[in-house]
Structure formats: structure tokens, C-alpha cells
Amino acid sequence: MQPEPTTQNKSPKRNLLPALGLFTTTMIIVGAMIGSGIFRKPGVMANDLVGFGLGLPELLLGVWLLAGIITLFGALTNAEIASMIPETGGQYIYFDKMYGSLFAYLYGWGVFAVIQTGSIASIAYVFAEYFTRFADLPHLSPATESLAFTLPGIGVIQPLKDIGIKLAAAGLIILLTIINYIGVRFGGMIQNFFTVAKVAAIVALAILAFTMPGVGSAGNFTAAASNTAVQGIGAVAIALAIAKALDGAFWAYDGWNNVTYIAGEIRQPQRVIPQGLIYGMGTVITIYILINLAYLYVLPMQEMAGSELVAADVASKFFEGGDKWIAAAVMISTFGTTNGTILASARVYFSMARQNVFPRFLGNAHPRFHTPAASLVVQCFWSVMLLFSGSFDTLTDMLIFVSWIFYAAGAWGVFVLRRRMPDHPRPYRVPGFPIIPAIFVVFAVLYLGLTIYNDLNDYSIATAAGQPAIIKSLFGLILVAIGLPVYWFYRKNSQRSR
């Protein structure tokens, strides 16, 4: 049994305020999901499929649709729990009721150590990358930037590589932390503006792709890459290829659960959170399929596989300087997504502190701004530290692997709560129970297993070629496991204070 929060923390003056409605809630979901992934990952995904000899545009679109449907199943499942337990802290609170304090803590620590702070770092990293299209960022000497050290059993870390990009990303994180420190309503307004702007930019790109004369061809939708040989590839290899491509798609869809972290600041959360999840997921799936059709209409699969920024390459087909137009769109998109992630994630550590498994000062709301100020500052510090641990792809692959362990556990938790709390009010019930939650859990387990295999295989290939490499899934798991001593420390202190 957890000790009661202190009287100070119960004071209304120290609590968070329910100030967000359905539109802002939906915008937080859409804004948290649409970030850097849709601009950067399609080319990586195409390259993954081509590398396995499966360069089929239909398969690429199928991966995007599969990822969207599976993510929607997870969101629908999570919405039932959110309607039952509309408390700030989201899945951390859910896991506490499902599996107990230790598992809940591991999730909360994982959010802090890698999942959400890694998201903040990686999205801000992309913002800074595209800022270089408009201004030069500082560099150290090649010898200094190549400085590296090895983490035993994990791989090689290069903290000073691309130092200018990392410093610019750190500046963005600090700026947005200050904005959200001032107030959730202000942060919500920022989120609304940048979410609408990024959706408008993506839709405009899609319209131009389909309407500009002589730019694209419908034949690209069926034109396979040159090395495609589906008949000679076994089922296991196809599954591995799809799993590898799903890394990019799941990163683009990630962030749908952020809204549950701020349930205590949403008006009528039992109604608004499920509606926001459904509206938000439907919007994002539609946008992603539309823009990928536009990409393929302009660029054949073979050319897309060689593109680092598909959107820029598509825009450059329309007019000179199109890459800068897209760079500006990416900056708008990643600015909004970084803001939404910062806004939502600090509420997890706030809730953990109020349950005495994190430093208590993190559970204090600011007396004037009514925001989790201390949690925002600590989150900012660790996100900046993660910036220097690796590249964009290292961060995203690591956090997606860890996230999906908890996504699977969260979906299974619906079965747990239906058995343990059968009479608890459920304003929303997941449709198709038990099929939809079961499909999500089984898929998540298979995806995690295939990801580990691909990760180990990629590490072996890179090290054999003498290239720096890191076992990303293992790195993420170790960051989560480091939290165990912290839990035992605070658990022991709580028992002593009783």
C-alpha cells in the first residue's frame, strides 16, 4: 500500500488545472504523432524492403496501413482504461492498478530514461538537422567529433559527433520547456497552432504532387525496385523485412498515448480522451496514407529507397528551392511535436513523485503557473543528455523497442482489469473485445522478437565491417533496468517513514 500524499501536495493551490477541451486534446494526439517520421522514415523503410529484395510499392503502403491499424487497436484498447482511470500520469497509473507498484515504476522510469526523453531528443535533433538548410552550425575538428568510447556489451557511443546539431536541438528543448513551465494553456495554444500548420503543409505537398503536370506517374504504384524477387524469398525473411520496415512506421505513429499523461488537466476526461484518441488516430492514418501515395506518385520505389529525405526530393520536382520549403515544414512539424511531448511527459514523473517512488519535489505543482515545474526541468536536463548518446536512428529504434514492451503489457491489462474490476464504471469499452486487444498483444510480441533478431544481425554485420555499432534494444533495456536500484531506495525509505 502506497503512503498518502503529503498535505502540501493535496492543497488546491499545488494541483494541476483541468483546462484542455476536445479540440486541444485531439491536437495534442495528432501533434505528438506527426513529427519527423513522415518526412524522414519513408525512404529508410523503402531501403529496408529493397535490401531484403522486397522493393514493392504495394508492400510499403501495406506496412504503413498495417502499422496504423495495429496502433489504432492499441489506442482503442487504451481508451477503455483511460475512461476508467482519468488521472494525470496515464499509463503509469494504469500499470500500478494492473500489475502493482514495481511494474508501474519500471514503466515510469522507462518513460524518463528512454521512451519520452528519447523522443524529445530525437525530434529536436531532426529540427536542428533541417535548421542547417538555412544557417551554418558550428563544428569541431573531425578528430574531436569522432571521439568515441565503448559501452561493454552495447556498442560505441560518439557524443561529440554533429556537435552543432546537438547544441541547436538542446536550445530548442530548453526553449519549449520554458514555454510549458509558464502554463499548460499556453503550451496547448502553441500545440494547436503548430499542429494545424504541419497538417496544412503535408496536405499542400500531397495536392501539389498529384496536380503538378508532368511530375508523377500512377505507374509508380506498381513498379517494383530492380532487385525484387518475391518468389525466391522465404516467409521468415519476409516477416523480418516487414518488422524492420515497421520500426520506421511505428516511430511515425508513436506518441498516441501521450494524452493519457495529462488526463487530470482535461475537462470531462472520461468522454474526451476516448474521442480524442479515435479522432486523432483516424486523422493521422489518413494523412500518412495520403502523403505516401503522393511520394510514390512522384518517386518510383527504387528512387525512394535512395532518398534520405523523400519529402524534399518530391518538392524539388515542383520548383527550385523545394527542399528549403520542405525543410521549413519539417521544422514547423518537429517544433510542435517536441512541444507536445514535453508538455505531456513531465506529468508521469509528477505522478510518480506523488506516490513516493521519485524525489518528492518533482510532485509539486508550481504555485503560480500550476504546472509540474520541477519535473519539466529534470526532463529537460536528461533529454539534453540523451542527445549526446547517439544519432537520430539510434534514439528512435531504441525507444520504439522499449515502448512496445509496455504497449503489449498495457493491452493485456484490459483483460486483467476486466477480471479484477468487473463492476468498475467503463464509460467507453473497446469494440470487438477480446479480439482487438488479443491481436494487438500477439502482434506486439512477434514484432519485439523479430526486432531483437534484426538488431543483433545488424550489429554483427557492422562490427564485422569495422564500423561503429550499438545493440539498440539492449541499450534501451539497460537504461530501464538502471531504475531498479532507485525504486528499491525510495521503497525502503517509504517503509521506514511509516
pLDDT of residue 4 exceeding 70, the answer is: no
| The C-alpha cell that represents 60 in the structure block | 510499403
Note whether 115 and 403 are within 8 A (CB): yes
Q: What is the mean pLDDT of the chain?
A: 83
Q: Would you state the pLDDT for residue 440?
A: 95
Q: Would you state the pLDDT for residue 6?
A: 40
Nearest CA to 205 out of 280, 288, 128 is that of 288
| Phi and psi angles of residue 88, each rounded to the nearest 5 degrees, phi first | -60, 135
Question: pLDDT-derived band of residue 156, with 50, 70 and 90 as boundaries?
Answer: low
Q: What is the dihedral of CA 43, 48, 49, 51, to 10 degrees?
A: 120
Q: Tell me the torsion sign for CA atoms 15, 20, 21, 22.
A: negative
Span 48-68, mean pLDDT?
91
Q: Would you state the pLDDT for residue 78?
A: 84
Q: How many CB atoms lie within 10 A of CB 114?
A: 27
Span 270-298, mean pLDDT?
89
- Domain 7-493 architecture: Up-down Bundle (1.20)
Note whether 119 and 173 are within 8 A (CB): no
Q: Would you state the pLDDT for residue 498?
A: 53
pLDDT of residue 377 exceeding 80, the answer is: yes
Question: What's the rounded Cα separation, in Å, for the pair 279 and 72?
Answer: 10
- Report the chain's terminal Cα–Cα distance, integer Å: 11
pTM for the whole thing? 0.78
Q: Would you state the pLDDT for residue 98?
A: 92
Q: Tell me the torsion sign for CA atoms 138, 141, 143, 144.
A: negative
Question: What's the rounded Cα separation, in Å, for the pair 32 and 38?
Answer: 12
Q: Which of 93-102, 122-131, 189-198 has the lowest mean pLDDT?
A: 189-198
Q: Which amino acid is residue 196, in one-letter code? A: V
**What percent of the chain has pLDDT above 70?**
89
pLDDT of residue 86 exceeding 80, the answer is: no
Question: What's the rounded Cα separation, in Å, for the pair 353 and 364?
Answer: 8
Question: What's the rounded Cα separation, in Å, for the pair 397 and 390?
Answer: 11
pLDDT of residue 60 exceeding 70, the answer is: yes
Q: How many CB atoms lie within 10 A of CB 32?
A: 30
Note whether 71 and 253 are within 8 A (CB): yes
Q: Would you state the pLDDT for residue 103?
A: 92
Question: What's the rounded Cα separation, in Å, for the pair 135 and 124?
Answer: 16
Q: Would you state the pLDDT for residue 154?
A: 56
Question: What's the rounded Cα separation, in Å, for the pair 258 and 188?
Answer: 13
Q: Would you state the pLDDT for residue 186?
A: 66
pLDDT of residue 9 exceeding 80, the answer is: no
Span 6-20, mean pLDDT?
50
Q: Would you state the pLDDT for residue 185?
A: 67
Highest mean pLDDT among 86-95, 176-185, 277-286: 277-286
pLDDT in tens, 410-469: 999 999 999 999 999 888 888 889 999 999 999 999 999 988 988 888 888 888 887 767
pLDDT of residue 495 exceeding 70, the answer is: no
pLDDT of residue 409 exceeding 50, the answer is: yes
Angle between helices 392-420 and 37-51 in degrees, nearest 10: 100
Q: Which amino acid is residue 116, in one-letter code? A: Q
Domain range list for the chain: 7-493
Q: Tell me the torsion sign for CA atoms 16, 20, 21, 23.
A: negative
Q: Where are the alpha helices (DSSP H) in 317-363?
A: 322-354
The CA distances from residue 384 to 165, 170, 251, 335, 393, in Å, are 12, 5, 20, 16, 16
Span 42-59, mean pLDDT?
89
Q: Would you state the pLDDT for residue 416?
A: 94
pLDDT in tens, 248-261: 899 899 877 767 66
| The C-alpha cell that represents 454 in the structure block | 534484426
Q: Tell me the torsion sign for CA atoms 262, 266, 270, 274.
A: negative
Q: Would you state the pLDDT for residue 311?
A: 83
pLDDT of residue 8 exceeding 50, the answer is: no
Q: Which of 151-160, 203-212, 215-224 has the lowest mean pLDDT?
A: 151-160
pLDDT in tens, 336-374: 888 878 887 888 888 788 877 888 888 888 788 778 888
Question: What's the rounded Cα separation, in Å, for the pair 498 and 488?
Answer: 16
Note whether 84 and 290 are within 8 A (CB): no
Question: pLDDT-derived band of residue 308, with 50, 70 and 90 as boundaries?
Answer: confident
